[in-house]
Amino acid sequence: MAHAQPAGRSGSGKDTTARPVSGDGKIVLEQAEIARALTRIGHEIIERTRGARQVILLGIPTRGVPLAARLAAGIQQVEGHPVPHGSLDITMYRDDLRLRPARALGRTQVPPDGIDGQIVVLVDDVLYSGRTVRAALDALNDLGRPRAVQLAVLVDRGHRELPIRPDYVGKNLPTAQHEVVRVLLTEVDGEDAVLLGVAGDATGGRSR
């Protein structure tokens, strides 16, 4: 989501479907590394929020949602209490809606007790321009008033266009703007991997 696309390319965004990894980019994170990064983020969330008692994890579709679910499961394993998690669709809040044809909506699913007074951790796969997160903050604003909002991302690839920074990062990945980071997750793509390629060779994958 996100994203200011590399120049001249109107990226394919969230609504892409699974595609096999076949030589389009080099693997930056493998399955085990992704799992380790998520475990660490889980522990950091517990530490920073003193036990994650009042935490709600909201994933941003598409791939933020399974990440939020995995983090919730990991935290539950350590702390022994369930952590509410859901999804937050930001399509209607994007700032680039008019640049592309109207796109399909994702699902917003917020735990039944709402987000008022809770610590909301937004979860996304890649942090790039920061525009997705800005849209997510606007969307949250219409859902209630959390006590605090934090941001967890699997990959921070830099090139921010807005004053936004993550609280929890799986991996800092220095990239050039013409490069494309693709995150693959078992729940969506059938396998776990983070790939780094060059714009143009990833045909339709998740380019950002």
- At 96, list the tokens: 């680039």
The verdict on whether omega for the bond into residue 17 sits within 30 degrees of 0, i.e. cis, is no
Q: Which residues bind another protein (CB under 8 A)?
A: 14-15, 59, 61-66, 87, 89, 92-93, 97-109, 138, 142-144, 185, 187-188
Residue listed under structure tokens 């936004």: 164
Residue listed under structure tokens 């394993």: 77
Question: Considering the complex, what minimum distance in angstroms separates the CB of residue 51 from another protein?
Answer: 26
Distance (Å, rounded) from C-alpha 93 to C-alpha 143?
A: 13
Question: Considering the complex, what minimum distance in angstroms separates the CB of residue 107 from another protein?
Answer: 5
For another protein, the closer of residues 145 and 165 by Cβ is: 145
Look at residues 168, 180, 176, 173 and name the one whose alpha carbon lies nearest to residue 133. 168
For another protein, the closer of residues 21 and 48 by Cβ is: 21
Question: Considering the complex, what minimum distance in angstroms separates the CB of residue 83 from another protein?
Answer: 17
Question: Considering the complex, what minimum distance in angstroms separates the CB of residue 126 from another protein?
Answer: 14
Task: Enter the DSSP assignment of 119.
Answer: E
For another protein, the closer of residues 125 and 179 by Cβ is: 125
For another protein, the closer of residues 46 and 155 by Cβ is: 155
Contact 199, 184 (CB under 8 A): no
Question: Considering the complex, what minimum distance in angstroms separates the CB of residue 37 from another protein?
Answer: 18
CA-angle at 135, arms to 147 and 195, nearest 5°:
105
Distance (Å, rounded) from C-alpha 170 to C-alpha 201?
A: 25
Look at residues 182, 207, 4 and name the one whose alpha carbon lies nearest to residue 95. 4
For another protein, the closer of residues 30 and 116 by Cβ is: 116
